[in-house]
Amino acid sequence: MKRTDATVMLVAVVLTGVVAAWAADLKTIQTQKTKDAVIMLKSESGQWRQGPNGFVLEFTTPTGQPLDVGKVTLSASMTMPGMAPMIAGATVSPDKTPGRYLGTISFPDGGTRQVTVAWDGPGGKGSTRFSVPVR
């Protein structure tokens, strides 16, 4: 493991802890609705920024009941002129609260990301796409 990898991992662990501790004060970055689910992406600042970011994903039914969606992934891609798309994958793990997931993701630069959230659980599979600015 390179030293930079270890640093990124340490930052990710610390950020996850910070997000967990400040759960009550989270601001919504994006709310996305599908036929079966409402997905909310939240963070402490309500924004994604260049560098490492902690976030929370919350899944509910359309009527607001917590929705356990099993395994969740989040990836973000940015198209830049003359370059292959920049793709960043998040680390996502379930919180103790059903339907709640804690994640970390790191962005090397600013710009709008096309975000894909996918899930696969007892209630079925699904995915949704939306864009999020990285400032």
36 touches Cu ion by CB under 5 A: no
Nearer of residues 64 and 81 to Cu ion, judged by Cβ: 81
Residue 26's CB: how many other CB atoms inside 10 A? 19
For Cu ion, the closer of residues 107 and 119 by Cβ is 107
- Which tokens sit at 55? 């976030």
Interface of this chain with Cu ion, residues 65 to 104, rule: CB under 5 A: 78, 80, 86
In the complex with Cu ion, which residue's Cβ is closer, 78 or 117?
78
Q: How far is the CB of 24 from Cu ion (least distance, A)?
A: 33
For Cu ion (CB under 5 A), the number of binding residues is: 4
39 vs 74, which CB is nearer to Cu ion?
Answer: 74
The neighbouring-strand residues paired with 59 are 39
Residue whose CB is less far from Cu ion, 20 or 132: 132
Q: How far is the CB of 74 from Cu ion (least distance, A)?
A: 17
Residue 109 engages Cu ion in binding (rule: CB under 5 A): yes
Residue 80 beta carbon to Cu ion: minimum distance, rounded to whole angstroms: 5
The full DSSP string for the chain is: --HHHHHHHHHHHHHHHHHHHTGGG-EEEEEEE-SS-EEEEEESSSSB-SEEEEEEEEEE-TTS-B---BEEEEEEEE--TTSPPEEEEPEEEE-SSTTEEEEEEEESS-EEEEEEEEEEETTEEEEEEEEEEE-
**What residues make contact with Cu ion under the rule CB under 5 A?**
78, 80, 86, 109
